[in-house]
Amino acid sequence: MTDTAAHAKPSAGSRAKRFLKPNVVLLALIPLFLLYLPRFVENTTLLQAISVATIFVMFAASWDILSGYTGQVSFGHAAFIGTGAYTVALFSKYEPGVSNELALLAGVLVAALLGVAIGVPCLRLKGPYLALATLSVAGALVQITFIYKEQLGGEDGIAGVKNVQDGAVTGPLGEGLSKLVLGPLTFGGKSPFDQYIYVSYFVALLAMVLVVGGLMLLGYGKRGLVLRSIQQDEAAAEAAGVPLTRYKLAAFVLSAACAGFAGGLYAQIRGTVALDLLSVDLSLLIIIIAAFGGAGSIIGPAIGAYAVILLQNYYLDRASDVFVEHPELKIGSFALLLIVVLIVAPRGLVPPLLQRLSGRGSPSRAAGAALTESA
Amino acid sequence: MTALLEAEAVTRRFGGLTAVNEVSFTVEQGAAVGLIGANGAGKTTLFNCLTGFDKPTSGDVRLRGKSLLKLPRHKVVGSGVARTFQIVKPFPDLPVLANVMVPLIVRRTKGDVKAEALKVLQRVGLAHRAASPSSQLSEGDLKRLEMARALATGPELLLLDEPFAGLSTNEIGVLSETINQLKADGVTLVIVEHKIGSLLALVDRVIAMDQGRVIADGEPEAVMRDPAVVRAYLGGDPEAQEEAGHE
């Protein structure tokens, strides 16, 4: 027995090591590709759709660190997104002197606080009960926008949110990247409307790389492993010495903060906030995206967001007039598509794909092993 | 000198049922103690009370004189009491190595966590499966993994809940060797087990329970000859009960 163990040590060690390392090179190609895409794609409608998808990548990735990783499946992620967005909008409405970045930071903080407020009472809830609780919080927030209609606008939302181009940081950053990628002359020659599309495209991209990169570092690292252990079996995690409360709450707060950030930035890019940012539809769409791409891998929901949102906001409209006339058919189609995907690839599409691209095991999530499961 | 573990009048009631009734005993550093009893005798409830997974209705559980009762579960683990589960609870989607890394990470182990985890796997003879998803392990290997994960918490006291349940005779033999090795390494053990023959080979003391009470406590041979123990095992002789005793 000791013989076998000693003999197996080096190979087992190096093999195990590979399980825990995502393929960084492969993953870095995605933002690089997106960075240079506007140089070759002149279709600004498509670029706009990609910007929205980039925002949704943050929605989905932030959902994943809470739900995919820790197993606290939230059906009310829109609550955090909407909180961030509405906070930013309220600053524009009542304190326009406050800088965009400060308003965004406030959005992050308020969303994080909501994360604590929901996370603490939800610590003891699991499965459908947790789902219901999170769902009702988002629902309650929608009602609050009607109760405080004067301030929050009810179904009209709030218009005139200070946009990214006005931001002291985001403005120059977005313009700088636009000039870098397109060339200063090309960028300068665009209409202000198109310029705004480019600026918001790059700001969204940069934010996404930071948020998703950060979440992946965490998720694929040691702390991510601990989060996954909670998702796998709470009692076993406790027996392994995991401080359950601390980790579960931290996941709630981090997820809420990232969602609030993405929501706030989305508000600044759109220039408006409305009930769609708090809606059940949004929460459901995020879950569909995550399951489609592969929950519990960060990268899966991230890529899933591009696929689903581009289909929803761009390609389906061009595929058939049915979707233009009846946009509500889209989410139904996604649900159907998801069923098919989950039958074919129960772990979502992205993890097995990445695995095939870069060989056994290497692109896996921190926890990685699901990828090598025979199922 | 204080004992490593002290249970003092531990009582656990579920409504009208008293599952554990005024149980007191101590476990000395380095001892290997077997906990036996028929189904429903209260072993698992007592076990849960000792490891912080359940709170006694009354009584106290102390490690080196310090009560464990007010501590949350992870602090009980952190203070040196680790357990395994009768029905194994691996993190099924995680590789074997990652299963063992989790306790090392939350203990803030310095240095290379993977290398440390591998060392622990070697102790239980599972290093060759380090990279396998734990869902692919055999029942015997799962029991080892369960033990490895508990060992990785750095326990002074390791409580094994029916480590032999569901294993073949062959697997029991191999696992017994591993447990003996842990004993030799100085780990204090409390083992709940139905397979008495295999258990007696490992422990130097046996506590027998019946209907929530301790009915005998002492040298294995003496306990097994104790009339109360024989009666609790349905009046049969212990060897015969061993055949019928597994779940």
- In this prediction, residue A11 has a pLDDT band, given cuts at 50, 70 and 90, of very low
Say yes or no for a CB contact (<8 Å) between B72 and A19. no
Question: Which pLDDT value is given to residue B245?
Answer: 47
Q: Which helix or strand (DSSP H or E) is residue B196 part of? A: helix B196-200
Question: Which pLDDT value is given to residue A62?
Answer: 97
Is A12 inside any structural domain?
Answer: no
What is the pairing mode between strands B17-27 and B5-14?
Answer: antiparallel
pLDDT one-digit tens code per residue, B207-231: 999 999 999 999 999 998 888 888 8
Say yes or no for a CB contact (<8 Å) between B95 and A17. no
Is A5 inside any structural domain?
Answer: no
* Residues in CB range of A31: below 8 A, 6 or more apart: A205, A208, A209
Is A325 inside any structural domain?
Answer: yes
Where residue B206 falls (left for φ over 0; alpha for ψ -120 to 50; beta otherwise) is beta
Scan for tokens 């990470």, then name that residue: B105
Scan for tokens 């009470």, then name that residue: B213
- In this prediction, residue B236 has a pLDDT band, given cuts at 50, 70 and 90, of low
Q: Looking at per-residue confidence, does A78 or A318 come out higher?
A: A78
Question: Which pLDDT value is given to residue A1?
Answer: 37
**Cβ-based contacts of A19 with chain B (< 8 Å):** 95, 97-98, 131
How many structural domains are present in chain A? 1
Largest CA distance in chain B: 55
Find which of A105-114, B86-95, B128-137 is predicted with most confidence, using mean pLDDT. A105-114
Residue A5 in this model has a pLDDT that exceeds 60: no
Say yes or no for a CB contact (<8 Å) between A235 and B82. no
Count other Cβ atoms within 10 Å, centred on residue B187: 19
Residue B147 in this model has a pLDDT that exceeds 50: yes
**Cβ-based contacts of A5 with chain B (< 8 Å):** 121-122, 125-128
Is A10 inside any structural domain?
Answer: no
Residue B1 in this model has a pLDDT that exceeds 70: no
Give me the helices (H) in chain A, please.
2-19, 24-40, 44-64, 77-94, 100-122, 127-147, 149-152, 170-182, 184-189, 192-220, 222-232, 234-239, 244-270, 280-293, 299-310, 316-319, 321-325, 328-344, 350-358
Question: Which pLDDT value is given to residue B81?
Answer: 95
Count other Cβ atoms within 10 Å, centred on residue A176: 14
Residue B62 in this model has a pLDDT that exceeds 80: yes
Q: What is the secondary structure of A86-140 as a DSSP string?
A: HHHHHHHHH-TTS-HHHHHHHHHHHHHHHHHHHHHHHTT--HHHHHHHHHHHHHH
CA-CA distance, A212 to A173, in Å (whole number)?
A: 19
Question: Which pLDDT value is given to residue B235?
Answer: 59
Is any Cβ of chain A less than 8 angstroms from the Cβ of B53? yes
Query: Nearest-CA neighbor of A114 among A89, A92, A84, A136?
Result: A84
Residue A339 in this model has a pLDDT that exceeds 50: yes
Q: Any idea what DSSP says for residue A312? A: I
Say yes or no for a CB contact (<8 Å) between B98 and A367. yes
CA distance A363 to chain B (A): 14
Query: Nearest-CA neighbor of A219 among A14, A20, A18, A16?
Result: A20
Domain region containing A129: 22-372
Structure tokens at B106: 């939350």
Question: Which pLDDT value is given to residue A348?
Answer: 87
B 119-158 residues with CB < 8 A to A: 121-122, 125-136, 149-150, 152-153
Give me the helices (H) in B107-138, please.
113-123
Q: How many distinct helices (H) and strands (E) make up chain B?
A: 10, 10
CA distance B135 to chain A (A): 8
Is A4 inside any structural domain?
Answer: no
Residue among A5, A17, A240 minimizing CB distance to B122 = A5
Count other Cβ atoms within 10 Å, centred on residue B89: 20
* Residues in CB range of B19: below 8 A, 6 or more apart: B12, B13, B42, B45, B212
Above pLDDT 70, what percent of chain A? 89
- In this prediction, residue B91 has a pLDDT band, given cuts at 50, 70 and 90, of very high
Answer for the pair B149, A32: CB distance below 8 angstroms, yes or no: no
Is any Cβ of chain A less than 8 angstroms from the Cβ of B71? no
**Cβ-based contacts of A2 with chain B (< 8 Å):** 122, 125
Average pLDDT over residues A279-307: 93
For chains A and B, what is the number of CB pairs under 8 angstroms?
Answer: 158
Question: Which pLDDT value is given to residue A135?
Answer: 93
Say yes or no for a CB contact (<8 Å) between B118 and A1. no
Helices A222-232/A244-270 angle, 10° precision? 110
Is A14 inside any structural domain?
Answer: no
Question: Which pLDDT value is given to residue A362?
Answer: 37
Average pLDDT, chain A: 87
CA-CA distance, B117 to B124, in Å (whole number)?
A: 11
**Cβ-based contacts of A351 with chain B (< 8 Å):** none
pLDDT one-digit tens code per residue, A19-77: 445 567 777 888 999 999 999 998 999 999 999 999 999 999 999 999 999 999 999 99
pLDDT one-digit tens code per residue, A117-139: 999 998 888 888 999 999 999 99
Average pLDDT over residues B128-151: 92
CA distance A338 to chain B (A): 22
Residue B244 to residues A359, B39, B197, B200, B234, Cα–Cα distance (Å): 50, 12, 12, 16, 11
Q: Which residue of A has its CA nearest to B150?
A: A240
Residue B20 in this model has a pLDDT that exceeds 80: yes
Structure tokens at B73: 């579960």
Is A320 inside any structural domain?
Answer: yes
Is A67 inside any structural domain?
Answer: yes
On the 0-12 / 13-18 / 19+ scale of CB atoms within 10 A, A113 is middle
Helix, coil or strand: residue B71:
coil
**Cβ-based contacts of A1 with chain B (< 8 Å):** 125, 174, 177
Q: Which helix or strand (DSSP H or E) is residue B46 part of? A: helix B43-50
Q: Looking at per-residue confidence, does A356 or B225 come out higher?
A: B225
Structure tokens at A241: 């010495």
Q: For A123-143, b where at least 16 C-beta lie within 10 A, e where not — what string? A: eeeeeeebbebbbebbbebbe
Question: Which pLDDT value is given to residue A22?
Answer: 53
Is any Cβ of chain A less than 8 angstroms from the Cβ of B7? no
Residue A14 in this model has a pLDDT that exceeds 50: no
- In this prediction, residue A83 has a pLDDT band, given cuts at 50, 70 and 90, of very high
Least confident of A46-55, A152-161, A322-331, A350-359: A350-359
Ordered domains of chain B (ranges, CATH): 5-245 (3.40.50.300)
Average pLDDT over residues A81-86: 98
**Cβ-based contacts of B113 with chain A (< 8 Å):** 222
CA distance B96 to chain A (A): 9
Least confident of A96-110, A164-178, A252-266, A331-345: A331-345
B 72-101 residues with CB < 8 A to A: 72-74, 77-78, 82-85, 89-95, 97-99, 101
pLDDT one-digit tens code per residue, A175-211: 999 999 999 999 999 999 999 999 999 999 999 999 9
Question: Which pLDDT value is given to residue A365?
Answer: 39
Hey, which residues does B210 pair with through a beta bridge? Answer: B213
CA-CA distance, A208 to A177, in Å (whole number)?
A: 15
Say yes or no for a CB contact (<8 Å) between B72 and A245. yes
B 157-196 residues with CB < 8 A to A: 174, 177
